[in-house]
Amino acid sequence: MTPKLLSVIGRSGSGKTQLITQIIPYFVSKNLKIGSIKHTHHQAQFDKKGKDSWKHKTAGSAQVLLMTDDQLAIYADIQEKKTLREIADYWFQGFDMVISEGFKKESGLKIEVCRQATQKTPLFTDPEFKVNMIVSDYQIQSTIPVFDINAISQICSWIETNLFL
């Protein structure tokens, strides 16, 4: 099964993570298997220096899988940038939906979170980003559907209609 893709995009500090953590329980309550992907432009430290998995990686292993009784994490080198669809199809087989944070230039259903406090130009004003819905804490005039940032049930209903029906 190919998972449905939803990207939550927006400027730094707009509340993307907060929205995602409010959307996930809605879809989980509908017995859907939900995965998430967080994209960052920053260098991330996936492991702790001196730990065995870190030693494996620094010794030259291209991929290290760290596993406990109920969790696993994979640290892997990537040779080329992958699309959101490629990542979802490979790592999230059998999932109903993958919600990504970021991936603003990828295709698929996109929600932009806009907060007045960021004082930055919203992404939806640039047609390159192809935003499908705006979630905001202030009044926005647009031909794109706009929802109040606190209207989680309406936001989720819109997603459900536009992603699953």
Q: Is 152 exposed, middle or buried (0-12, 13-18, 19+ CB in 10 A)?
A: middle
Cα(9)–Cα(106) distance, rounded to whole angstroms? 10
Each residue's pLDDT, cut to its tens digit, for the chain (165 residues) gives: 799 999 999 999 999 999 999 999 999 999 999 999 987 665 556 677 888 888 888 888 888 888 889 988 887 888 898 899 999 999 999 999 999 998 999 988 999 999 999 999 999 999 999 999 999 999 999 999 999 999 999 999 999 999 986
pLDDT for res 4: 96
Amino acid type, 12: S
Please, which residues have CB within 8 angstroms of residue 124's CB and are 6 or more apart in sequence? 112, 114, 131, 134, 142, 144
Q: Is the pTM above the cut of 0.85?
A: yes
Q: Is 138 exposed, middle or buried (0-12, 13-18, 19+ CB in 10 A)?
A: exposed
Domain boundaries, the chain: 4-43+80-164
Q: Is the dihedral of CA 161, 18, 3, 35 positive or negative?
A: negative
pLDDT for res 45: 61
Task: Find out whether 159 and 147 touch, Cβ atoms under 8 Å.
Answer: no
Cα(73)–Cα(60) distance, rounded to whole angstroms? 18
Fold topology of 4-43+80-164: Rossmann fold (3.40.50)
pLDDT for res 143: 96
Cα(17)–Cα(9) distance, rounded to whole angstroms? 10
